[in-house]
Amino acid sequence: MRTSSRAGADGTPTAPQLRPRRSVTRSRRVPHRILPLLFVVPFLVILAAWALAKSVFGVSDAALPSVGDVIRASHQLIDWGILPYDVSASLYRIALGTVLATVIGVPLGLLLGTSRYSIVMFGPFLRFFRAASGVAILPLLIIWFGFTETTIQVAILYTALIPIIFNTMIGVRTIPPAYRDAIETMGGGSARLLRDVYLPGALASIVVGIRLGVGYGWRALIVGEMLVGAGGLGFMIFGAMQFHALGQIVAGMILIGLLYLVIDRLILAPVEDATVRRWGVQRG
């Protein structure tokens, strides 16, 4: 803002007057067609830092492989049939664990959510076991089940089950009581409440719980495959470590991240958004 002083009729200066200054700022909004591509920027920064570390700072191949080494290692793993087998094994395990966790967790969460004391009683209980993740419980599972497929599946189930139960319970408890009262006033029983109130009202929270469960279960899966040694991407990385094959290790790391990104952003996130739009209950 600019100020100016003018003299009055008697020659005394008047109070400074503020003059509005033209705004020179322009809208800097990102075009809508570019906005979905912004997620690529951090990856490009990491890629540039990677290339800089190799070309400028001279980091040795024994500490960090080059981009070319990772690409060649990926091609070798595909040609040998190792990568397709390990990817399919990991995807099968996470899919089976998620289905089992959903089948068990949603009914339990609905049951707990119907009690007014459920959050007070079971909230800390579920948070406690969520903190003791599937990675922490793996040594105990190995003692119980040995280095078997059961150990991996139980680790995934345990890790994915807790957030599904918790979010389902929260979803039921946050449904406005007026919906339940309306069904009961019309003579509807427990089955009607479950079908018309609890399940659709909590569906958005259920999908969020499943999404969280897949994320936690994916980490437990990778660590379980490393320890158990029953194939999969985790086992592939662990095996490459023994031969100091850094290209294969980095290729496996990148593939683990990309696969989860595809599962989360292209499958789970659209399902969550569609569920919230269709079944989200107006709170309050």
User: For 182-228, what is each residue's pLDDT tens digit?
Assistant: 877 777 777 778 877 888 888 989 999 999 999 999 999 999 999 99
Instruction: Return the pLDDT at 279.
Output: 63
Write down the pLDDT at residue 1.
Answer: 47
* Distance in angstroms (rounded) separating the CA atoms of residues 33 and 93: 36
Inter-axis angle of helices 199-228 and 149-173, to 10 degrees?
Answer: 160
Question: Of all residues in the chain, what percent are helix, strand and coil, respectively (each to 5)?
Answer: 75, 5, 25
CATH code: domain 93-279 is 1.10.3720.10
CB 72 within 8 A of CB 247: yes
Three-state secondary structure readout of 78-142: HHCCHHHHHHHHHHHHHHHHHHHHHHHHHHHHHHHHCCCCHHHHHHHHHHHHHHCCHHHHHHHHH
Q: Given this model, what pLDDT does residue 103 score?
A: 96
**Dihedral of CA 77/82/84/89: which sign?**
negative
Looking at residue 25, its pLDDT comes to 46
**pLDDT value at position 208?**
92
pLDDT score of 207: 92
Q: Chunk the chain into consecutive blocks of 10 residues (it has 284) and report each block's average pLDDT, rounded to whole numbers.
A: 48 50 53 74 90 86 90 93 93 96 95 85 86 84 94 95 94 83 74 81 91 94 91 92 91 94 89 75 46
Q: What is the DSSP letter of 17?
A: E
Measuring CA to CA, which residue among 103, 281, 111, 275 is closest to residue 196? 281
Consecutive H or E run containing 192 = helix 190-193
- Determine the Cα–Cα distance for residues 282 and 106; give it in Å rounded to an integer: 21
Please give the Cα distance from 236 to 218 (Å, whole number): 15
pLDDT of residue 141: 93
Going by C-alpha positions, the residue among 101, 98, 86, 133 that lies closest to residue 230 is 86
